[in-house]
Amino acid sequence: MRTGIATVCLSGTLKEKMQACAIAGFDGIEIFEQDLVTSPLSPEDVRKMAADLGLGLDLYQPFRDFDSVSEDILQENLRRADAKFKLMSRLGMDTILVCTNVGTATIDDDSLRAEQLSRLAELAGNHGVKVAYEALAWGKYVNDYEHAHRLVDTVDHPNLGTCLDSFHILSRDWDTAPIEAIKPEKIFFVQVADAPKLSMDVLSWSRHYRVFPGEGQFELAKFMGHVARAGYSGPVSLEVFNDVFRQSDVERTAVDAMRSLIWLEEQSAKWLDAKAASLAAEGVSGDSPANAAGRRRYPMELATLPKVAEPAGFNFAEVKTDEPAQLETLLGQLGFEFDGRHRTKDVQLWSMGHARVIINEQAPSHSEPAIAALGFDVDSPVIASARAQQLKAPVVPRKVQADEEVFQGIAAPDSTEIFLCQGSPDGTAAWTSEFRQTHEFGEGLEHPIAGAQAVIDHVNLAQPWQHFDEAVLFYTSALALEPQPFAEVPSPSGLVRSQVMVTSNRAVRLVLNLAPMLQQEPGQKGNGARKSYQEHIAFAVDDLVATARRRRHGGSTSSGYRPTTTRTWMRGSPWILPSWPPSRN
């Protein structure tokens, strides 16, 4: 699949945007006119820079309000088009996006529109330019891709084709199956965007709330499947207007965008396989019209990724603190056992049953305790890591000694380190043998509950605002967690945007929460949201009442942790919540 992105998706200057696209690995870009106008680069500079960066200049956009006008306005529009075509020649570009008229259309007559589009195509042909005609969801007379394509068909000019934009199609709930009937040589361009299902006017929805594929709720794999079955093999390009992305770090957003296309490619291939299987089951040939000539593959080559099964459970949670004594006390009171210090690293291990907590003492002084890392049980850490890396997840560099388990670590968007651990049938973890009971810590604590069983029940992570959507896609694509419908939960300090991510058996539940007032400056490192928002790790225990009693008796206000109910809160730091019943034993 040829990957692309519109410069309008990103923040910064045109030069910065182009560099970020090259770094993220896009094949091509759409030049958004405003980005060119505000750039000090000449069209020739842009052309050379794109060539040097290995980026195709795949689409010039947008050309607005052309058709359905009176003859005098049409003459002006053709002069305007002529100027754009000359500019495109300087850029070395050959495809322009023309949207259906929103502002100046006065005549609702398809035969007039066809005639006007035909004149545009003829002019474009003289300049070697191809016009990709797109139905805007709020176009005055033409707002449906099938209508727009009927006009393209009527004109039947080699320089006029259709542009399909998933947002304009799916936001209106148009049926996508008829895409398969479009001749592939008449599809000039495909744009994709996802969006949360919101009830608002479609223009505002489009301009502010589009997200990258996998971050919203549109059926994009199906849309792309129909496009592939039509025989299209050109660029698939992101056009996402989003207020957050345009304020965020450009390189990072470009990588998030690229991840979304890689993921969409895989999902589209899966949809196609399922479609072929269901057609075969019905006894129908799986070949779409474009695929009837005995080709075993669709013209659009869809890359796949190493598959991972959803994680079987949490392997461990790691909390970083510069005051380990408080956490030691709390864990001891909860009935956790001190398993010792690591042979070579400055960390302690505490466990109750299969609930394992690592205390990392290397936090900077006076920092709040924070959840620094989560381990997940997977079938093959190496394959899972390969998949994550192909999805552009940053690898966590980690020093290991020769005889230690090599953890495959990747960084989540909020900088939590995610470790892919070898799961075991009995829920044990081989790496715990790297910890040694030194009796230096853990003395004087109450004796742990003998044979107490517990697991990590769920984890709640505070997300910085600019990486919330990215985090949903990250956990979906790299870790095979399933996003649940998102919610807005009332809290004492306002609505909290909350996204639950789970495995199908709910053995892993991860809650991503965004408190709107806890904003972090773009470019700020780390997760500032943690400073003022409660994260928590919840444990499922065998006997909640016994655990709670124990906690109450051992409770000491000097530790700074005040038990309220059976929920144990730690203000501005991970709070630890015994819950019930255990989801795994």
State the binding string over 4-23 for a second copy (x if CB under 8 A, else -): ---------------x--xx
- Quote the least distance from Cβ 261 to a second copy, whole Å: 13
Closest CB to a second copy among 44 and 52?
A: 52
For a second copy, the closer CB: 92 or 560: 92
- Shorter beta-carbon distance to a second copy: residue 159 or 460: 159
* 306: contact with a second copy by CB under 8 A: yes
> Left (φ > 0), alpha (ψ -120 to 50) or beta: where does 108 sit?
beta
CB 383 → a second copy: shortest distance, Å?
A: 6
- The alpha carbon dihedral of 526, 532, 533, 536 has a sign of positive
**124-163 mask for a second copy (x: CB under 8 A)?**
------x---------------------------x-----
Place of tokens 């058709």: 67
Asked if 346 interacts with a second copy (CB under 8 A), we say no
The answer to the question of residue 67 lying near a second copy (CB under 8 A) is no
Instruction: Tell me if 276 sits within 8 A of 286, measured CB to CB.
Output: yes
Q: Which stretch binds a second copy (CB under 8 A): 147-155, 290-298, 425-433, 551-559?
A: 290-298
- Between the alpha carbon of residue 253 and those of residues 266, 336, 509, the distances in Å are 20, 41, 26
- Residue 187 neighbours by CB distance under 10 Å: 22
- Shortest separation between residue 293's beta carbon and a second copy, angstroms: 8
316: Cβ contacts below 8 Å, ≥ 6 apart: 356, 357, 358, 373, 374, 375, 419, 421, 429, 456
When asked if residue 280 is in the footprint of a second copy (CB under 8 A), the reply is: no
**53 near a second copy, rule: CB under 8 A:** yes
Size of interface with a second copy, in residues (CB under 8 A)? 37
For the CB of residue 122, give the shortest distance to a second copy in the complex, in Å.
15
CB of 133 to a second copy, least distance (A): 18
422 is a contact residue toward a second copy (CB under 8 A):
no
Peptide bond preceding 483: is omega within 30 degrees of 0, i.e. cis? no
- Cα gap 177→227, rounded to integer Å: 9
Q: Are 306 and 386 in contact (CB under 8 A)?
A: yes
Of 426, 498, 424, residue with least CA distance to 458? 498
Instruction: Confirm or reject binding of residue 487 to a second copy (CB under 8 A).
Output: no
End-to-end CA distance of the chain: 44
CA distances from 400 to 118, 362, 374, 430 (A): 67, 17, 18, 15
Q: Which residues does 199 contact at the CB level (< 8 Å), separation at least 6?
A: none
Q: Are 166 and 225 in contact (CB under 8 A)?
A: no
364 binds a second copy (CB under 8 A): no
Residue 516 binds to a second copy (criterion: CB under 8 A): no
* 526 near a second copy (CB under 8 A): no
292 binds a second copy (CB under 8 A): no
Contact between 304 and a second copy (CB under 8 A)? yes
d(CA 198, CA 209): 9
The reply to whether omega before 581 is within 30° of 0 (cis) is: yes
Q: Quick one: 383 or 544, whose CB is closer to a second copy?
A: 383
Measure the CA–CA gap between 26 and 273, rounded to whole angstroms. 26
Q: How many beta carbons lie within 10 A of that of residue 292, not counting itself?
A: 10
* Contact residue for a second copy among 103, 397, 444, 492 (CB under 8 A): 397
CA 517, CA 496: separation in Å to the nearest integer? Answer: 9
Decide if 539 contacts 355 (C-beta within 8 A).
yes
Binding mask 185-224 for a second copy (x = CB under 8 A): x---------------------------------------
Which of 283, 296, 451, 553 is close enough to bind a second copy by CB under 8 A? 296
| Nearest distance from C-beta of residue 27 to a second copy, angstroms | 6
How far apart CA 167 and CA 135 sit, in angstroms, is: 11
- Give the footprint of a second copy on residues 69-128 (CB under 8 A): 94
Task: Check binding of 534 to a second copy (CB under 8 A).
Answer: no
Q: How far is the CB of 472 from a second copy (least distance, A)?
A: 22
Question: Which residues lie near a second copy (CB under 8 A)?
Answer: 2, 19, 22-23, 25, 27, 51-56, 94, 130, 158, 185, 233-234, 266, 293-294, 296-297, 299, 301, 303-307, 380, 382-383, 386-387, 390, 397
